[in-house]
Structure 1
């Protein structure tokens, strides 16, 4: 029904516009006609001013709403026929109402269709319009070199509120309207429509177009004054930048600050390097490497060797993990950062006011001030309020590295990346692993085919995966640890020796005294950050797990660039974070790497897409290494090679993914990947093969048909070369 209404409205508009031109109505909207008929029209208006005003108002609205040529002449006529004051009133309201009707028509006819095809692009535009739309519209309205009918139609495609569009248009068009209406009162002196605006007037209006930008600056200044009202800023500061937390985000923020010769203080309460070094990325990947090697022993026949069950000294394995941490540790050490020019401070920080931190250390509490402050306090594993959980002494990604005895039966709660990686690693190291998740698939943020590929491998590895199981309560019964879970409305009893809880993370904000800066964490426990990574005040920032929305080391480092640069140079220019090309990898076997949209996300956002799928069992290097399983899946815009998202499932997925990340970041399509020379035989050829698969699916069938005929013609008569000869002497 809605589509039928759209067609009727569109047909009515098209017929009205065609009628305007077919019947030559434009001849009545010329300067010559207005001058010739001015006297007669003036007399008609004097005889019935109310009816004449209504007719003029309606005519102006129709012309503007239909985006017909003639609005300029109608504005001159307003001054010529009704005088400066009343003509200005009529033109002002008529132009604003007509523009708003055109705005509504554009929105009704086209916005839904464009939203489906360009959801991501429109989302960004809408966010900008919500933030600065009124100022942007006012700037365009104040400069008459921009066609107003184009502005009306384009703004209708955005999410700008209609009331905002109306009142901004009404006010911002007044200066230009005044110039034209005033010119109309002197109609005899007007030689042409283009002559109404002299160079001086155009320059004045262009300068006037800067007014909204100046107004924005002034309003920002007023908002800052209001924000800081009642607060006493220090006359002098101890640091240009103070960073709370020496994890990935804090270290990068401090590094950048020191690199540009700012005075930087880095406050850490525990260990330099944060979770990634001590309890996250580094130890988990060290353990995963050992577990994969153990699995290679079991699968040696794949490489022509004799398979065997490896002997696994678990304590030695865990000691190796610690040795890896110790080897990486100097990269994040106090010594290194001190040499870089960062002042490393040991202690716990809390806000006293927006510029001052109280840092409690071994030698007491000291007050430190800074022009800008970065909160990079990271996160910690989330322990859900499941009854009895404390009785079973749960393991998390923090304390599991203290194990020196392998758990015979390990229960893993959570099918996300952390739970999946460690479940598989411990299974390959000899533990009997029971892996449960309340959802219907592993890695729930990925597409179902991705989760299914990982699930298949888990079951081949002997992992007891139980999906759609909701943990109800823990208990210790006769010395035996037990979980009671609900599955298909039945109670399931699961015995285990140790339980690893991997159900997400919670930001570390306790002890910061956020009340002193009037900041309340979000429902997810993170801090409410703006696009420039600021938190309430323009000089306070957050990055990493405490900021969200992603909890990856590389995202924390990415955010840290914005916190440092905006913190040190934000008074000149502010940079806004962009998460559209954030990649991530789950280091299971097979690995799962993704960037951009998944199929599920594209569907949910109303984004049209095509899928190109390349099976890695066709890749020569994968075959050579007996790792010929998995796939590459690329989402592209319909009929185009623009990459909307990519996922790689298989060995070395993290490395394969990098080429797609680079392409998306710099706007390169699959044609560019296909045209890039890749070394043979490498895993990276998979990206080129996927691009080739897309190209083959989009081959121009009609052109190829004609080329086939052309080449057949080139062979000569009957499809054979006319130069071919037969050697009769040959038997």
Structure 2
């Protein structure tokens, strides 16, 4: 920081300290203002320019330094100067003060805060980049954040100060009028009976209703701006057109039809999208077949011998396609037409915000929901175009089991499919650029998953970068890789018959006409929408994989509810999507399931947390089944039982996670989970056991000390504790008393 910046910072600090030390903050209370009102009015009548000028300067200073009291000063302006003079003074003073606050933030803090709070500033910057001055106008008109926060945050952006000033002047004017009028009414109050005066009541009603009124005004302005650019139809054929019949589109159209809206669902390929045809359903069917083969291999550990399993890959794929066929009617056009949805097959393209062309047909609609999904991303490796690459889309057309399979990508898809093919008999090598599998998970979680894959026969190449593909004359090809170990790199080649690419997915945004209408995309290629899933066009919404950030079937359904409800009823109430309690499961062995924050994310976001860990090696059901791999890890607020996140690694982790997801969604803490009766012996007891570990680590030591003395006294002893009492030691120290009769004691304790 330069010398001039330090001087400016020191002056601001002195001014702020002086404001509180001198007791000036106590002067800006309603009682203090009412007590001095007569004196102020006398001064104003004697020297109006000095008093008005002094008030103007004080208001600018308080707004510039973001000091508390600006709201009361606005009321005071109405009480002292009347409506019109007060309105002029406050309107210009607040705008100038806000601009100075933006200048201060830009001068002192922009470089530092842009680096430290880049994620928090991304939404504001995105909105300004998308809509410019209109975005700031909506923030001023409907203050999502307090005005002083808007001053500081927008000051950190690249908006021109002249634009910031005039938009602030215009956007704050309606609210200023309401508050100045309320102040004028308060200034004329002469007795308590005056509190019930119609004018004062109306002023406070306007303060309460202003956000709703302003929201309606902004909506009208957005529609007017659209209507000026495009020709709005005089009437509409439909309430909603949904583009894409994957999980997001199906849920959106179902909800719209359920509330009797007229909805058209457009799909260019197959109903059900990736989940039914190429994702969830076929992959889980394959995983089940692979697990059956692994169960046969493990059978001797239970005293059952069946020999090495014989895998008929054609029959395995028959099982996969049979599962798809059995689920398919749930997502069929016939079913959705029966629910009241108009299902249309074809390519959809937006001609303008209200017209969607499908083939030769043009549909007019009040709202459009984009649910076009995503597709596997194939990296531009040299030589990759010379071979037929497998992805999660075309994998299911394989006729023969690959002898040598190389998997690119160690995320959930690569891990699940790589392990499954290894269990079915392929020689699998998995290549991951990062230092661990499942890059979003904690290191200990990734380590358990890696051990599970290696136990299944997968060769892991971590910290390894794919360089190029060398196509062979026949079916045998090579992948050139760069391996990084202990800071040293070496070049190797992997032979393969098939290359499965699982390095992420790319949003389907092309060909929809969105770019021509100004609907932009983020850096990762997903559509740019706000927290309510609304695009820059107020009647165009998006949900599912085309939006992200979580490309999961249940995340798509969760978003679809918000997009549909906001589209149909957003004039009255809008809902922003929350991912705080969004569960996710990777179906490898051991399963990895998580909801909320993990340790890595909590540290990145600087969220204080306490970790509670319970090993499945202590769970009786896991011991009985000989499958003790894994653990339960819970993050809580330090000293409290409120759950910030939970991760489970082990058999059935995805099923156990539901209890933590419910707890986070409904605000249930670990004490309540500990007080819930769980059947014995089950895997779900691990949830209660983890809560017991937390309770033991947070038990009231002082109260227990008093109880120890009390029981010692009741036994006829002295004040000293029984010398035979010893602390618990060994592997089970700190574990929950979660065995048999002790379970009822922990339940009673948690209900206390």
Native 8 Å contact 2:241 2:266 kept in 1? yes
Q: Does 1:486 align with 2:482?
A: yes
CA offsets per residue over residues 693-724 of structure 1, 9 Å max, x none? 11111112222222222222222234899xxx
Decide whether aligned partners of structure 1 residues 205 and 698 sit closer, same or farther in structure 2, where only a CA change above 3 A counts.
same
Decide whether aligned partners of structure 1 residues 131 and 503 sit closer, same or farther in structure 2, where only a CA change above 3 A counts.
farther
Native 8 Å contact 2:141 2:174 kept in 1? no
**2:364 counterpart SS class:** strand
User: Please, what TM-score do these two structures have when normalized by structure 2?
Assistant: 0.78
Q: Distance in 1 between the 2:39 and 2:238 partners?
A: 75
Q: Distance in 2 between the 1:565 and 1:668 partners?
A: 27
Partner residue, 1:306? 305
Q: Does 1:417 align with 2:417?
A: no
Partner residue, 1:205? 203
Partner residue, 1:324? 323
Q: Distance in 2 between the 1:121 and 1:577 partners?
A: 16
- Offset at 1:66? 7.9
Partner residue, 2:140? 134
Partner residue, 1:426? 421
Partner residue, 2:683? 683
Q: Distance in 2 between the 1:328 and 1:268 partners?
A: 18
Native 8 Å contact 1:135 1:213 kept in 2? no
Q: Does 1:534 align with 2:534?
A: yes
Q: Distance in 1 between the 2:84 and 2:540 partners?
A: 51
Partner residue, 1:393? 388
Native 8 Å contact 2:583 2:595 kept in 1? yes
From the CA coordinates, give the structure whose radius of gyration is larger.
1
Decide whether aligned partners of structure 1 residues 719 and 474 sit closer, same or farther in structure 2, where only a CA change above 3 A counts.
same
Native 8 Å contact 1:63 1:71 kept in 2? no
CA offsets per residue over residues 450-508 of structure 1, 9 Å max, x none? 11111111122221100111111101245430000112332111111111011111122
**1:608 counterpart SS class:** coil
Partner residue, 2:348? 349
Decide whether aligned partners of structure 1 residues 547 and 182 sit closer, same or farther in structure 2, where only a CA change above 3 A counts.
closer
**1:485 counterpart SS class:** strand
Partner residue, 2:643? 643
Alignment counterpart, residue 442 of structure 2, candidates 435, 447, 456 = 447
Q: Distance in 1 between the 2:613 and 2:94 partners?
A: 53
Decide whether aligned partners of structure 1 residues 37 and 270 sit closer, same or farther in structure 2, where only a CA change above 3 A counts.
closer
Decide whether aligned partners of structure 1 residues 195 and 548 sit closer, same or farther in structure 2, where only a CA change above 3 A counts.
same
Aligned residues: 690
Q: Distance in 1 between the 2:121 and 2:678 partners?
A: 35
Native 8 Å contact 1:532 1:562 kept in 2? yes
**2:323 counterpart SS class:** helix
- Offset at 1:119? 13
Unaligned runs of 5+ in 2: 106-116, 128-134, 157-163, 722-752
Q: Distance in 1 between the 2:259 and 2:184 partners?
A: 56
Native 8 Å contact 2:103 2:155 kept in 1? no
Partner residue, 1:266? 265
Decide whether aligned partners of structure 1 residues 122 and 646 sit closer, same or farther in structure 2, where only a CA change above 3 A counts.
farther
Native 8 Å contact 1:60 1:74 kept in 2? no
Decide whether aligned partners of structure 1 residues 579 and 175 sit closer, same or farther in structure 2, where only a CA change above 3 A counts.
closer
Partner residue, 1:114? none
Residues 597-636 of structure 1 mapped to structure 2, 5 A cutoff? 597-636=597-636
The farther-off stretch of 508-517 and 297-306 is 508-517
- Offset at 1:674? 1.6
Q: Distance in 1 between the 2:409 and 2:231 partners?
A: 48
**1:717 counterpart SS class:** coil
Decide whether aligned partners of structure 1 residues 8 and 613 sit closer, same or farther in structure 2, where only a CA change above 3 A counts.
farther
Q: Does 1:474 align with 2:469?
A: yes
**1:357 counterpart SS class:** strand
- Offset at 1:512? 2.3
Partner residue, 1:232? 231
CA offsets per residue over residues 362-409 of structure 1, 9 Å max, x none? xxx333333322222222111111011122211111111111211111
Q: Distance in 2 between the 1:156 and 1:582 partners?
A: 30
Partner residue, 1:725? none
CA offsets per residue over residues 75-109 of structure 1, 9 Å max, x none? 79977xxx999999889989999999999999xxx
Native 8 Å contact 2:643 2:670 kept in 1? yes
Alignment counterpart, residue 365 of structure 2, candidates 370, 391, 403 = 370
Unaligned runs of 5+ in 1: 107-117, 141-150, 722-731
- Offset at 1:344? 2.3
Partner residue, 1:695? 695
Q: Which has the higher contact order (CA 8 A, sep 6+)?
A: 1
**2:471 counterpart SS class:** strand
Residues 288-303 of structure 1 mapped to structure 2, 5 A cutoff? 288-303=287-302
The farther-off stretch of 10-19 and 663-672 is 10-19
Q: Distance in 2 between the 1:182 and 1:434 partners?
A: 77
Partner residue, 1:244? 243
CA offsets per residue over residues 207-237 of structure 1, 9 Å max, x none? 4424564344223312211123242233343
Partner residue, 2:739? none
CA offsets per residue over residues 516-561 of structure 1, 9 Å max, x none? 5343443323222232323332322222212222111111111221
